[in-house]
Structure 1
Amino acid sequence: MVSALAGVMTSVIGKLTALLGEEYAKLKGVHREVEFMKDELSSMNALLQRLAEADRDLDVQTKEWRDQVREMSYDIEDCIDDFMKSLGQTDSAQTAGLVQSVVQQLKALRARHQISSKIQGLKARVEDASKRRIRYKLDEHTFEPSISRAIDPRLPSLYAESDRLVGIDKPRDELIKCLMEGMGASVQQQKVLSIVGPGGLGKTALANEVYRKLEGQFQCRAFVSLSQQPDVNKILRNILSQICQQELPSTSVQDEGKLIDAIREVLKNKRYLVVIDDIWSTQAWKIIKCSLFLNDLGSRIMTTTRSIDIAKSCCSRRHDRVYEIMPLTTANSKGLFFKEYLAQKIYVLNWKKSPRKY
C-alpha cells in the first residue's frame, strides 16, 4: 500500500510541477500555494518511498498519517484536473461577440476563484500533514534500529473497539463494582486491584475497558505498560506526563528520585486512577509504587501481571484484591471466531466496491 501511494504522489507532484510551468505562470493567485504543496509533497513522497523499502509493519500513528496523506493526494489530483480543464476550456473558447465574450470571462473568473479557494484549503491540509509528521517524529520512530522496534503485542488491545471485544462485559462490570466500592464513605481508602492470568487472555484489554468506563470518576489518570526489562525513568516520565496532561520536554527532570517526588506532589491532593500494565517483577512494582501517593481520597490503582506472586505483592493491604481472569467460554470463543470471520468478509466486499479507499 505504501509503495502504491508513493506512485500516486509522484503523479500528483508531476501535475503540480506542470502548474508551475510557463503556461500557468500568469496565475499569480495560486502560484505560491502550488509551489509550497509541491515541495511538501516531494518531502512526504521521499518518506513514503523509504517506508516502502523498509519492509516492516508500520505503527498506528504512521498508518494514520499515511491514510490521511493518501486521501489528501486524491483530492489534490482531482482539484488539479478540474483546474487544468477549466483553464483549457477558457483558453480555447472562441468568442462570437462582445456579450458572449464578457459572459465567458465572468464564468472563467468565477471558476478560477472557486478552484483558487480549493487550492488554499488543500495547502492548509498539506501544511497540517507536514506538522503532524514533525510532531509525531515519524522519520525517527520508523527508522530506529529494529532491535528497539520490537512489536508490542499489547497495542491492539489498547486500541480495540469495545463492540469487538467478546466476553468482556461480566468481568469489566465486576472490576468496576469492586473499584467503586467505598467511594461514598467519609474516609475513602486507596485500593489496589491486580488482574492476573496467562498471556493472551485479554488482561490489557480488560484493564483498558475499565479505565475508559471510569474516565469521569477521577481527577487525573494514567495508563502505562511495562515490559520484561522496563525503563523505569521512561515509565515515571510517562506517568507524570499523563497526570499533568502535557508532554514533558526532553530536558526536564531525568533523575528517578525527582520524578517520583514530582508525581507524588501532583497526586497527593487528587483522586487518581493509575493502571500499571504487564508487571514482570516485584522490583519494578516497588519503584513505581513509591510514586503513587497514599491518600484517603478514593484513589485506585490497577495492575496486570502473569504472576500470582507479583499480583499478591501488589495487593498488600486488607481491602486490596487479586482478580484472576478466566479463559473464554466455548460459546464466547465461537462468537469471537464468527465475529472476526464476518468482519473479514465485510472488509473484502467493501474493498471490491471501492478499492481506492483501501
Structure 2
Amino acid sequence: MVSAIFGAMDSVLSKLASLLTFEYKLLKEVKQDITFMKYELESMHAFLKKMSEVEDELDEQVKFWRKEVRELSYDIEDYIDEFVIRLKDEPRCELHGISSFISRIAKLIVSTRDSHQIAKEIRGIRASVGEASRRHKRYKVDDTLSKPSKVTVDPRLPALYKDASDLVGIDGPKNELIRRLTEGVSGPELQLKVVPIVGSGGLGKTTLANQVYQNLEGVFESQAFVSVSQKPDLMKILRDILSAIGYNGLEVAWDEGKLIHEVRKYLRFVRYFVVLDDIWSISVWEILRCALPENNRSSRIVVTTHIADIAKACCAPHHCDVYHLKPLDSATSRRLFFRRICGSEDSFPGHVKGEVEKILKKCGGMPLAIISIASLLATKAQIKEQWEIVNRSLEYGLDKHTGFEGMNWILSLSYNHLPQHLKTCLLYLCMFPEDYIISKDILVQQWIAEGFVCPEHGRKLEVGYSYFNELINRSMA
C-alpha cells in the first residue's frame, strides 16, 4: 500500500520478502544484500511510524531525512519490479535436437549475465540504503525527534476572551444551545444531559462553547471549562476541574484514580455545568465521563469535537441531540469580513469588492479563515492589484503569510491526527479542480487503483467506502 508518509515502504518490504523465497534463484551474495536491505528498511519504517505520531513537532532536518527515505522506497520498488521481470523464466522452447541444445546454452549465458548485472545493481541499492542509515545516525535524527518542541501559544486561547460584541453570527447557535441546556433544569426531569458540539476545525466551536458558558454563569452551583486537546494531560485536566469547581485540599501526590474519586465526590450532590473543549478520542471521553457523576440534579456537560463518532459516543447511554455547527452563510461572512477590515461594508471601496467575493468563497464560511485573511488584508492598501495577489496566493496554496499561521495550525491538527491511509486518500483530492463535483463511487475506485486501499478479507470496495465515510465523519471532506 502506498501512503503519504511512508511512500512505497510497505510494498517494498513485501517484495523484498518475496525475493528471498525459493521462487527466485539468486546468487548467494545477492540474497545477503537483500536481507541487509530488508532489515535496514524495516528499522527505518518503524522510525517513520514514530515520526508520524508527532508530525507537528518535526524539524526541517527530520523532514528532509524522511523525504529521502520515501524517495528511496520508490526507487527500490522500481528496481525490484524490473528484477522480477528479468528473473521470470522465459517460455520453454519446444524445439528438439541441435536447435533445442543451442537454445538452452544461449538461455544459460543470458541468465548468468543477468544474474551478475542484478548483483551489481543490488549492491548499488544496498549502498544507498546504507548511506541513508548512516546519515540517520550521523545527524542524530532520533535525538532531534526526542527533544521537547518549542512552546507555542494555542491560537484557540483568544477565543476564551473574546468580547461578545466582537462576535458575528454567534447569537443563533448560542441561543439554541442555551435553550437545550436550560430546558428541564427546574422541571421534573432532573437527569444529567450531555450536549456535544461537532464541526470542522476553524468553525468556532471553542468560541461558541465559551459564550454559552459565560451566559449560564450563576445558573449552576459549580462550573468548569477545560481544554482537552489532541494530547491531553488527564491529571492536569482533572486538577483544573477541581480547581474551577472550588475544591479545597487538592494534594500534589494524588494519582488519576484519586482525582477522579474526588471530582465525583464533590459533584455528587451538586448541580454542575462542565465544558470539555476539543476532545479527540472516545477513550479520553470515557475516562473524563467517569469523573462526572449522574446525580439527578439537572447537571449539564458540553463537549466540543470535530469527530462525529465521538459526539455520538458522548450521548450514550442516554439519547441526546448532537449540535452540528454550520459554516457562516454568505451574508454573515461578509459582515464579519468587513467589520475586521474597516468597520462596515458601506465604507469599503467598490473597486475591490469583486476580489472580496472570491476570497470569501475560498474561506467557505469558516470564521477563523475569514478573520485570518481579513487581518492580513487590513495591513495592505485597498488596491485591487494587491488583493488579487492575495487571492492568487489562496488559490495556489501559497499561504505562508503570518496572518494564516493560526488558521493553518488549527486545521493541520485535524489532518495530522488522521491515520496514514486516510491522509493519503485526503491528499488525493488535490487531483480534482476547485469546485468540482466528485463522484464518491469514482473516487473510491481511483483510490483502489492507486493502491491506497488496504484490503480486508478481499473486500476492497467496502473498505474504500469506509475510508470515505471516515473522512466525512472527521469533518475533513
Whether the 8 Å contact between 1:253 and 1:259 is mirrored in structure 2 is no
**Deviation (angstroms), 1:189:** 1.2
Residue in 2 aligned with 1:169?
A: 171
Residue identity in the other structure for 2:218: G
* Aligned pairs (5 A) from 1:1-358: 147=149, 149-244=151-246, 252-342=252-342
Whether the 8 Å contact between 1:194 and 1:305 is mirrored in structure 2 is yes
Residue identity in the other structure for 1:221: Q
Distance 1:184 1:162 in 2: 27
State the TM-score, normalized to the length of structure 2: 0.40
Whether the 8 Å contact between 1:273 and 1:300 is mirrored in structure 2 is yes
Distance 1:329 1:283 in 2: 34
Residue identity in the other structure for 1:264: R
**CA offsets, 1:97-143, max 9 Å, x none?**
xxxxxxxxxxxxxxxxxxxxxxxxxxxxxxxxxxxxxxxxxxxxxxx
Give % identity: 50
**Deviation (angstroms), 1:150:** 2.3
1:200 alignment partner, SS class: coil
Residue identity in the other structure for 1:293: P
The ranges of structure 1 where at least 4 consecutive aligned residues each deviate by more than 6 angstroms after the TM superposition are none
Say how many residue pairs are matched: 201
**Deviation (angstroms), 1:185:** 1.8
Distance 2:224 2:253 in 1: 18
**Deviation (angstroms), 1:239:** 0.6
Whether the 8 Å contact between 2:247 and 2:266 is mirrored in structure 1 is no
Larger Rg: 2
**Deviation (angstroms), 1:151:** 2.4
Distance 1:316 1:261 in 2: 21
2:323 alignment partner, SS class: strand
**Deviation (angstroms), 1:285:** 0.6
**Deviation (angstroms), 1:181:** 1.1
Distance 2:179 2:310 in 1: 23
Residue identity in the other structure for 1:339: R
Change (3 A) 1:148 1:313: farther
Q: What is the aligned-residue RMSD (CA, Å)?
A: 2.2
Deviates more, 1:145-154 or 1:297-306: 145-154
Residue identity in the other structure for 1:296: N
Gaps of 5+ in 2: 1-146, 344-374, 380-477
Distance 1:202 1:296 in 2: 31
1:198 alignment partner, SS class: coil
Distance 2:323 2:188 in 1: 26
Distance 1:308 1:150 in 2: 28
Gaps of 5+ in 1: 1-144, 349-358
**Deviation (angstroms), 1:342:** 2.7
1:147 alignment partner, SS class: coil
**CA offsets, 1:63-100, max 9 Å, x none?**
xxxxxxxxxxxxxxxxxxxxxxxxxxxxxxxxxxxxxx
Whether the 8 Å contact between 2:192 and 2:300 is mirrored in structure 1 is yes
**Deviation (angstroms), 1:182:** 1.1
2:245 alignment partner, SS class: helix
**CA offsets, 1:236-267, max 9 Å, x none?**
11111111266x76x53430000000001110
1:223 alignment partner, SS class: strand
Change (3 A) 1:253 1:220: farther
**Deviation (angstroms), 1:319:** 4.1
State the TM-score, normalized to the length of structure 1: 0.53
Residue identity in the other structure for 1:181: E
**Deviation (angstroms), 1:341:** 1.2
